[in-house]
């Protein structure tokens, strides 16, 4: 299957987006992924990351604050009180560690699937401590 066919299969809710526009996104995200690291799962990884990007674009377009969509810029809910309704959210990570950079991927089902696929294909280097 081609990347476009994989995308159409895993993300049918984006059927209204033209093949040219989808292919453009596939090309963009494909440039930042390693064919060598993902191996035979490369095309699926590209399709998942493209679906993640389209989902983010939809969330931003549907939020009245546009690029500052609170569902994307706030962290996870860390506490909630019912009387006088109070909610506290964790901050979005601002450092460049891997976990912090993955926080946006964790905001969509496609991002989560991409993270799962990445963890299956790319094993981090472990060093011996002590």
Burial letters 11-30, b for 16+ CB under 10 A, else e = beebeebeeeebbebbeebb
Map out the domains of the chain as residue ranges. 3-121
Beta strand residue intervals within the chain, DSSP E: 77-81, 86-89
The span from the CA of 70 to the CA of 97, in Å, is 22
The span from the CA of 42 to the CA of 35, in Å, is 6
Report which DSSP code applies to 40: G
| 95 closest CA partner among 87, 103, 105, 83 | 103
- Give the per-residue pLDDT at 89: 60
pLDDT at 19 over 80: yes
Q: In whole numbers, what is the pLDDT of the chain averaged over residues?
A: 84
pLDDT at 30 over 80: yes
Average pLDDT over residues 33-52: 97
How many Cα atoms sit within 13 Å of 39 on the Cβ side? 8
Query: Between 107 and 20, whose confidence is greater?
Result: 20
Question: Residues 64-113: pLDDT tens digits?
Answer: 665 555 556 555 556 677 777 776 666 555 445 556 678 889 999 999 99
């Amino acid at each position: 299957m081609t990347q476009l066919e994989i995308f159409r299969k895993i993300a049918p809710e984006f059927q209204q987006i033209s093949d040219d526009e989808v292919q453009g996104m596939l090309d963009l995200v494909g440039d930042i992924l390693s064919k060598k690291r993902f191996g035979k799962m490369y095309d699926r990884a590209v399709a998942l990351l493209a679906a993640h990007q389209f989902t983010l674009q939809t969330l931003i377009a549907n939020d009245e604050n546009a690029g500052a969509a609170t569902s994307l810029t706030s962290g996870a809910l860390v506490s909630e009180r019912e009387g006088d309704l109070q909610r506290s959210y964790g901050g979005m990570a601002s450092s460049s560690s891997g976990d912090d950079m993955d926080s946006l991927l964790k905001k969509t089902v496609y991002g989560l699937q991409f993270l799962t696929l990445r963890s299956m294909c790319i094993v981090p280097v472990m060093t011996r401590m002590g």
